[in-house]
Amino acid sequence: MAIDWKQIEEWDRKYNVHAFSTADEYAPVCIERTQGNYLVTPEGTKLLDFYNQLFCVNVGQNVPEVQEGIREALERYGFLWDIYTTDYKAEVSKILIEDLLAADGWAAKVRYALGGGDAVETAILLARLYTGKPLVATREHGYHGVSAGAAQLTRMVPSRSYASYPEERPRMVAGSMFQNTFLCPAPFCYRCSLGHDYPACKCARTDGKLPCVAQTEEIITSHNLANVAAIITEPACGAGTIVPPKEYLPQIEDMKNRLGILWIVDEVLMGFGRLGEWFGYQAMADRPVKPDMITCAKGISSSALPLGAVVVSREIADFMDSIRWNHVSTFAGHPLPLAAAKANLRYMQKIGLPALAKEAGEYFRRCLGQLADRYHTIGMFAGEGMFFQLEIVKDRSTREPFVGEDRFTTFTGDTSRWPVHLISAYAAEKNVLVGGFVPNTLRMGGACNTTRDELDAVVDALDYAFGRMEAELC
């Protein structure tokens, strides 16, 4: 049946609450279907999705093996809640613990959730239950979700659900305070909030600790270790778009062991091949590390159906085994998303997805290097696998950003001339989608199995976009 897209646009404008723009600014982007790395418009235009729908369709769209897995489960199950055992739930947990994580020697059991933020809620609940302590440390520019508990940990200013207006000051969400959480520095070497330069900062102390880790330890200790349950970190900041130096996570691990607190790694965006390893913490560390919990979503099912999960250590699993835990969320453990996850993970294993991402990332990094030789507004780029951070500056030598607020933006005033929006708009003219939530920063990456031809198309679009942006802004 033909779809009347004019009618759809009208209903969409009229009946949906939209984020990111006022109703007047809102411009619907209708998508008729998805295919591989592409979104297809009703007119048949294929848009190469190089932000992978919020970095979550790790194997690409509409993979027949994943579709078949869901179809099979649909034949067998309507719905079962969490007290029932299904082969899907048992097998996905087996894959996570035995196939993907056994070599790291810490992971023991899995608890399912509705999505990423819900997995974070579950992880901090478990941390507080297990330790009996209330406080969770988080970091500048961290993103962990929009639900109440996860939002306490989200310190990326533009992602705190506030209302901003074209001209007035933003309206923060009433009552949305930072309860039982506190803030530590991010490993944001390009614009260090402690005023250091990397790697010279490593010489600032005799014990070799990065100043951001030393400061984190001091802040945690100042809250009294009797009160601190855990620290949560992303492996690399996804929404905040920051790739840390590889000694950072190992030093966080040393610190949490010294202090006797838990370390939750939020793998919602970086897990399942994104950084060229199964998990982000494996790719972002210069030696093996062991978290106490990881949170997963997005790539676990390549988002064919929504699913979240928390993987916990042997110690936490033993504790949970020893109590009667009164905890239920109706849809957590739903057989259909777990069937999608099973089919997705089996397919990832079959094609060796992390290695494909690693190879794609190595090629893309070389291409970005060539672009950086041509455009002085490319201040730096970093990343691997299919996740890259690219900082856009007035001049590489001064690092001066076009938008001074940078990661503290509140989206007031005219944002249409922000570098991230200009580059996105010009790349879109070439049917390539890139973007980001920071005014001076592109965050880029396709499905983990993005091909060289697709990467070349992205590079051509970026070449065109930077050329136009520099002609206009410089």
| Site for ligand PLP, rule CB under 6 A | 54, 115-117, 120, 143-145, 234, 238-239, 266, 268-269, 297
Please, what is the minimum distance in Å from the beta carbon of residue 278 to ligand PLP? 16
Q: Which among 175, 170, 174 is positioned nearest to 158, based on CA atoms?
A: 170
Minimum CB separation of residue 151 from ligand PLP in Å reads 10
Tell me how far apart the alpha carbons of residues 436 and 434 are, in angstroms, rounded to a whole number: 7
CB of residue 162 to ligand PLP, shortest distance in Å: 17
Alpha helices in 85-229 (DSSP H): 87-94, 116-131, 148-153, 211-222
Which C-beta is closer to ligand PLP: that of 211 or that of 299? 299
Strands (E), 287-386: 293-296, 308-313, 378-384
SS3 36: strand
Question: Min. distance of Cβ 158 from ligand PLP in angstroms?
Answer: 13
- Report strand pairing: 293-296 vs 308-313: antiparallel
CA–CA gap between residue 121 and residue 404 (Å, rounded): 33
Q: Tell me whether residue 297 or residue 461 sits nearer to ligand PLP (CB atom).
A: 297
CB of 414 to ligand PLP, least distance (A): 27
Measured from the CB atom, the residue of 297 and 455 that comes closer to ligand PLP is 297
Burial 258-296 (b: 16+ CB within 10 A, else e): ebebbbbbbbbbbbbbbbbbbbbbbbbbeeebebbbbbb
Q: CB-wise, 209 or 274, nearer to ligand PLP?
A: 274
Q: Provide the minimum distance between the beta carbon of 7 and ligand PLP in the complex, in angstroms, as a whole number.
A: 30
Question: Rounded distance, CA 114 to CA 297, Å?
Answer: 8
Strands 135-139 and 181-184, bridge-based pairing = parallel
The nearest distance, CB 377 to ligand PLP, in angstroms, is 27
Pick between residue 239 and residue 357 the one whose CB is nearest to ligand PLP: 239
Peptide bond into 199 cis (omega under 30): yes
Q: How far is the CB of 265 from ligand PLP (least distance, A)?
A: 10
Answer whether 351's CB lies under 8 Å from 203's CB.
Answer: no
Rg (CA), the chain: 22
Q: How many helices (H) and strands (E) does the chain have?
A: 14, 15
Give the residue with the Cβ less far from ligand PLP, 255 or 297: 297
Do β-strands 432-433 and 107-113 pair in parallel, antiparallel, or remain unpaired?
Answer: unpaired
* All residues at 6 or more sequence positions from 216 whose CB lies less than 8 Å from its CB, including other chains: 137, 139, 184, 185, 231, 252, 255
- Minimum CB–partner distance for residue 295 and ligand PLP (Å): 7
Choose between 54 and 371: whose C-beta lies nearer to ligand PLP.
Answer: 54
Give the residue at shortest CB distance from ligand PLP.
116
Q: Which is nearer to ligand PLP, 55 or 182 (CB)?
A: 55
Q: Which is nearer to ligand PLP, 209 or 407 (CB)?
A: 407
Q: Which helix (H) or strand (E) holds 251?
A: helix 248-259
